[in-house]
Amino acid sequence: MQAPRTEGDDSCLPELVSHLRDNRTGLREEWAQRITDAHLLSAMSEEEIFSEVTSVFDKYVDTLETGSVESLQEYAEDLSERIIPRGVETHEVLGIVLLLRDVLARSLFQKYQEDFELLNRVLDAYEPAANRIAVIVGVSFVQERERVIGQQQATIRELSTPVLQVRERLLALPIIGELDSQRAAQLTDQLLNAVRSNRARVVVIDITGVPSIDKNVANHLVQTVRACRLMGAAVLVTGLSSDIARTLVTLGVDLSMMDTVGDLQGGIEEAEHLLGYEVRKAQAASPEDKR
């Protein structure tokens, strides 16, 4: 069976391609119509869909003709880059490509329905090529999406751990959002480097923005505190909510080596005290001058 198939490939593809070219307008319209009917690509307007449909169709036929996938792949990547920010989903992209495959297959059925033998050969040529195209388009969409997600994760990681210098030798680290192992490790890293470059002696870690804490996260915090100590910086942890405090006690995490202060303000005041700062209101000194 294998031999006739390959033969069919060679002889039928040109015929197939010219058939698709001849019926370009009709097939394109039918495809666009079916996309709209299936409520796919709801994020795009009908005109946009039609223009994308046209170029996808042409690339599709080109790929069938030449068998070279490079230009299609390039186009698919470019297309994914354009449509992902608009909220197009994976199922929509796959749905569209499969619709095109169906539309074209139907038109082949219609044309060759008289000659079953020939139809078979044409389909033998058409199906593997069409499936390969569907796979390429789907895979490049998913890859592009993963790339975007990876990029966003990196951005979030960068954003989420600012180490702030409050005063000479005093750093504050407000932690916002869930902590996981990866983030905790990165945070420790960033903090230790900041301790070195700012020559910090006291660090205030504020966890008001951490919604929940488990054993792992608590241990990470303890590790961070210990590492800072090794570098000669004292650490104050502030903003433990009553829920979190209760959880920690229930879990039995040993926090005896962590100094905690109720809120960020208290922590900063305590740190200033440790560093020998004395903060006074400017007005408090002035009554003497007024006299």
Partner 1 sequence: MPVPILKQGHYLVASIQDALSDGEVLELQENLLKQIGDFRARGIIVDVTAMDVIDSFASRSLRTVALTTRLRGAEMVIVGIQPDVASAMVQFGLLMDDINTALNLEEGLEFLDRWTAERADADGG
Report the residue number, 99 or 187, with the smaller CB distance to partner 1: 187
The least CB distance from residue 220 to partner 1, in Å, is 10
User: Could you please report the per-residue DSSP string of 211-272?
Assistant: ----HHHHHHHHHHHHHHHHTT-EEEEE---HHHHHHHHHHT---TT-EEESSHHHHHHHHH
| Near partner 1 by CB under 8 A: residue from 192, 202, 203, 204 | 192
The reply on whether position 228 binds partner 1 by CB under 8 A is yes
The least CB distance from residue 162 to partner 1, in Å, is 17
Determine the Cα–Cα distance for residues 134 and 93; give it in Å rounded to an integer: 9
| Near partner 1 by CB under 8 A: residue from 119, 176, 231, 274 | 231
Comparing CA positions, the residue from 188, 265, 269, 176 lying closest to residue 229 is 188
The reply on whether position 227 binds partner 1 by CB under 8 A is yes
SS3 164: strand
Contact range with partner 1 by CB under 8 A, out of 48-56, 65-73, 139-147, 229-237? 229-237
The reply on whether position 164 binds partner 1 by CB under 8 A is no
Residue 67 Ramachandran class (φ > 0 left, ψ -120 to 50 alpha, else beta): left
| Near partner 1 by CB under 8 A: residue from 193, 212, 216, 265 | 193
- Contact between 248 and 213 under an 8 Å Cβ cutoff? The reply is yes
Determine the Cα–Cα distance for residues 225 and 245; give it in Å rounded to an integer: 17
- Torsion angles phi and psi, residue 174, rounded to 5: -80, 120
The reply on whether position 21 binds partner 1 by CB under 8 A is no
Report the residue number, 111 or 201, with the smaller CB distance to partner 1: 201
Report the residue number, 107 or 198, with the smaller CB distance to partner 1: 198
Report the residue number, 136 or 184, with the smaller CB distance to partner 1: 184
User: Token pair 């033969």 is at which residue?
Assistant: 7
Comparing CA positions, the residue from 97, 129, 101, 100 lying closest to residue 12 is 129
| Near partner 1 by CB under 8 A: residue from 102, 189, 243, 254 | 189
The least CB distance from residue 247 to partner 1, in Å, is 23
Using CB under 8 A, list all residues that contact partner 1: 185, 188-189, 192-193, 195-196, 199-201, 223-224, 226-233, 257
